[in-house]
Structure 1
Amino acid sequence: MFGINGPEFILLLIIGVLVIGPKRLPEYTQKLANLVKEVRRMANGAREQIKEEVGIDIDDVDWKKYDPRQYDPRRIIKEALLDDDTKPVSAGAPAAVAAVAGAAAAADASPKRPERVVQRLAPGEAAPFDTEAT
């Protein structure tokens, strides 16, 4: 807790008792107890507010599912690349449906890309410059 080990904590406790004194010690222990109760009350209030707004209990959430360390980008990409999206047409389907599905698959397999038009400046021509862009 806060990087303090047992003997250091006992030493701080003894120094605190000596500084505060025996007359004021009950008062400060009561203040500490009230502070702990208030923090617990606030934590329970936040828990209840989350439960009301989200609709689930925090204890019922599987937090391991949301841990970002479990996701390996290499595995995700590999699975996405190896995933087969093409579904075979069932044997009981009519021939026309199979022909349409085959034609659609062939059209999807080789989509035509539009030709890229590159406009080049003539030799010695200055590039366009926008004074408001800088």
Structure 2
Amino acid sequence: MIDFNISEILVLAVLAVVIFGPEKLPELARKTARVINYLRNIANDAQGRLREELGPEFADLELTNPKAMVTKHLLDPMQAELEPVKSELTPLKAELEPVKAAVEGRPSYLPDPEPEPVPVLFDTEAT
């Protein structure tokens, strides 16, 4: 949300009076209020339609924070489904720790494994 303090509002009001003049300012304010009200109605209607289309399982859907909405409705259920898989993989991870330590702590006198040759897909003799 936009946060204005008193000095910013006064500067905007003075600029509006200078630019539009005191006789056109009330009409401009009414038109601005109508546009803001129209846009607010469109947004509320879109939210209502979205809630209606999504159904009752998303009745508590909050559309103000998209990140929280995605986390709550998509990531949290996925995390719950992945918990059994994580619990199965934890013992395997413990078994692989010595292998990982052996690979990372390989003595420097051992040569690195030879990289696989890259196939040449063109004629190197051609010009």
Q: TM-score range by the shorter chain?
A: 0.3 to 0.5
Looking at both structures, which has the greater relative contact order when contacts are Cα pairs under 8 Å and sequence separation is at least 6? 2
Q: Which has the larger radius of gyration?
A: 1
- TM-score, normalized by length of structure 1? 0.44
Give the structure with the larger helix fraction.
2
